[in-house]
């Protein structure tokens, strides 16, 4: 017999995850915009607002534990709850990366970046898109669609990595034999690294979404495809 109370609580938890994702999205975009525009006040706002992300993540974790205690869920319902606990933690860490970018910006002071920021905002746009789609994969009850989204996100993660490598190469070329530039370049590499980690955690969420619907933990495109098709993976 369907447990309507549990279904309601799971829907509520999903809504809280979506809200948390929205807060993280805002934090990432604000942190990158503040870095680019040298808006130190906005950077400080991101740092202050991280408390709200932390508080919501803690609430979601507590709510998940409470549902396990009260409802003793089994099979797919238990996977959904455990999966949402994992996803909430991943989103909270993304918020920490936005906070880290803001701290980098403050450490830079009012000094202009070493170079015009183009690739780092591109990385942020792509990473946030990955995060939003990974949350979508969690909320839809369609294993094939979840798998398709997860595979797209894996591919986008490769593009974020490519942009990250480009940022590194560009900075290395600019700072060669110039100590003053090396310091400024290091700040930008820290910022780019934080965004690269956001993309990695979005990939983690997409893989966890597949686990929630199939019970299979995957670690790449081939395994994702096998999980959603019901076929055994050939990946060792």
Interval 150-203: pLDDT, tens: 889 999 999 999 999 999 999 988 887 677 788 888 899 999 999 999 999 999
Q: Which of 37-46, 61-70, 173-182, 222-231 has the lowest mean pLDDT?
A: 222-231
Which tens digits make up the pLDDT trace of 2-11?
Answer: 578 888 999 9
Mean pLDDT of the chain: 88
Q: Which residues of 119-143 are buried (b: 16+ CB within 10 A; e: fewer)?
A: bbebbbebbbbbbbbbbbbbeeeeb
Place of tokens 């993660």: 157
Q: Return the pLDDT at 72.
A: 87
Q: What is the pLDDT of residue 219?
A: 62
First-last CA distance in the chain? 39
């Amino acid at each position: 017999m369907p447990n309507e109370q549990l279904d309601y609580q799971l829907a509520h938890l999903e809504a809280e995850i979506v809200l948390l994702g929205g807060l993280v999205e805002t934090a990432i975009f604000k942190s990158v915009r503040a870095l680019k525009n040298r808006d130190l006040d906005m950077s400080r706002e991101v740092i202050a607002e991280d408390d709200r992300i932390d508080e919501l993540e803690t609430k979601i974790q507590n709510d998940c534990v409470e549902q396990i205690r009260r409802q003793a869920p089994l099979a797919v319902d238990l996977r959904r709850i455990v999966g949402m606990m994992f996803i909430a933690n991943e989103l909270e860490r993304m918020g920490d990366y936005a906070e880290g970018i803001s701290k980098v910006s403050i450490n830079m002071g009012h000094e202009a970046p070493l170079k015009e920021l183009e690739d780092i905002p591109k990385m942020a746009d792509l990473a946030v898109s990955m995060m939003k789609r990974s949350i979508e994969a969690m909320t839809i009850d369609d294993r094939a669609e979840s798998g398709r989204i997860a595979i797209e996100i894996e591919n986008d993660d490769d593009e974020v990595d490519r942009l990250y490598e480009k940022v590194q190469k560009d900075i290395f070329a600019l700072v060669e034999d110039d100590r003053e530039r090396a310091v400024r370049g290091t700040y930008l590499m820290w910022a780019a690294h934080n965004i690269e980690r956001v993309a990695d955690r979005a990939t983690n969420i997409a893989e966890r979404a597949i686990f929630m619907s199939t019970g299979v933990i995957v670690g790449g495109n081939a395994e994702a495809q096998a999980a959603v098709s019901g076929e055994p993976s050939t990946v060792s």
